[in-house]
Structure 1
C-alpha cells in the first residue's frame, strides 16, 4: 500500500510562467483580475510576475504594477534573474523572490547568455544577501531531467546544483522538467534522492505537459514524498528559450487527481474554473485541458 501525504500545496505559476510566452498582449487589469480570482479559489502560493528585461519578455513589462496591484494573500513570488531584477522587485514591495538557473550549460546560455557556473557565481552573493535581509528565496532548477540541446541530464549534476543552493541558504528548490521529457521512473528516482539529501528544504516539482506525462510524473513525485507542485491554471505556459516546450501541468487536472486520491489542496475547483474562464478570452488559443473542457461542456 502506497503512502500518500494528506495535503499538497499548489504553487500557481499561471500569471508568470503561463503568460510569459503569450503572443497577445494581456493587459495589467486582466492579469490582476485573474490573480484575484485564483486567490479566491483557495490558491495560497503564486508566482505573480518576473522582473526581466521587457525587450526579451515583453509580457512581463508591467511587473511593478502587478506587485503593487495584487492582493497580498499568502506567499507571492516574483522571478528575478539578476541583481537589477532583485533590486527592482524589492523596491516594488516584493517579499519573496525566485532565482533560476539551468543545469544544462547550453540552455543557460540560450536563456541568459551565461554558463551555469557563471550564473551560480553571480547568484551566490545575491542569495546570501537576500537571506540576510530576511527574504524568502526560491531556486528554480531548469532542465533538471532533459535539455533540448544536450539531451538527458545526469541526475547527479542536478543534485550537485541543488546542493550549492542549499549551502547558500535558499528556502525552496523548484525542480523542473522544462521540456516535458521526463518519465515517472526518472521523476520518482530524482525526487526520492532530493528528499533524502535535503530534508530541511522545501522541494517543489515543476512539470511541463509536452508529451502528456505531467500527471504521471507528478504522481511519481508524490510517491517520493513531494507535497509541493508548481502548476498553471488552464495549462498555460511554455518557455521562450526551450524549443518545443508547451504548457505547464494544468492546475485543475492536478488538483482533480489529488482530490480523487484523498490528497487535499484547499482549492475549490469550481472557483478555479471561473478564474480560468476570466483569462481565456485574453490569450491566443482556447484552453483545452481535460477538466476545464469538461467544465465548459457542463455549462
Structure 2
C-alpha cells in the first residue's frame, strides 16, 4: 500500500483532496462540500464462489460492503456506480437476480445507482463505487488518542464462521443457517453514523478482520491498543459452532474477516455504548495486545484477510 501511495503521489497535493490513499475511502471537495468516495470489488474465486451465494445476495453483499466504507467515514451514501464483468456461462436469469440484489441494496443504503459499465470476462466480478456526504467532518483512521475506548458495532467472527461452514459443507450443525446468512448478507450500519460523527475520534470498517483493521487504525493514529478477549461481542452459538468445526472461536472473532462492522474509538460514554460494545482502550506507544480474563496476553494464530496471498 505504501509503495502504491508513493507511485500515485504528485509533486503537490491536488486542490480539493481532503483525504487521499490509505483510509477506508477518499474525500474530495468538488467545490461545494466534501464528498466521500470508495470502491470495492468482489471477484469470483477470491471473495466468493458461485455455489456458496445466490446472484441476488451477491449483489446485496457488494453494495453493502462498499457502503460500509462510507459509514466508517461518518458519512451517508448518496449515489453509486457499478462495473460488472460477466462470464459466458452466466444466464440471463442470474444476471437479472444480480441486478435486483444490487438495486435493492442501493435503495436500502441510500446510494442510488447513477451509472456503470458492463464487460465480458472469465470470472464474475462486481465493482461498486459509492459516493457519500459526511454528516460533519469526515472521520478517518487517524485521530485516536491514548485513553480512548475501543468500540465495535454488532458481532465479530460470525461471517467467517458462516464461510467456514459452507467451505466444509457442514450445514447440518446447529446454528449453521444463521451463520451462513451472516456471511451472505452483511449488516446495515447506517444507524450508527450520527453517533460516530458526534463522538468518535477515529474509525475503520472491519473487512480484513478485527485485529488487522485495528492495526491499520493504530498505525494511522500513532497509538497502541489493549483488547480484552472476553469483551468481544459474538453471536449466540459462536463458540460451540466454531469448536464443532475444529476452529478456535477467538481466532475467528479477531481475525476472521468480512464482518463489515464498524470499529471506532471515542471517549467512553453512554452514546458510544448505544451503538457499539466496548472491547478495549487505546494506549500510548505502538503495542497492540489481546488479554484474556486473567490479564495474560493471548496469541492469535490466524491472520486476517490478505488480498494477494
Shorter-chain TM-score above 0.5: no
TM-score by length of 1: 0.25
**Greater share of residues in strand:** 2
TM-score by length of 2: 0.24
**Greater share of residues in helix:** 1
Structure number, greater radius of gyration: 2
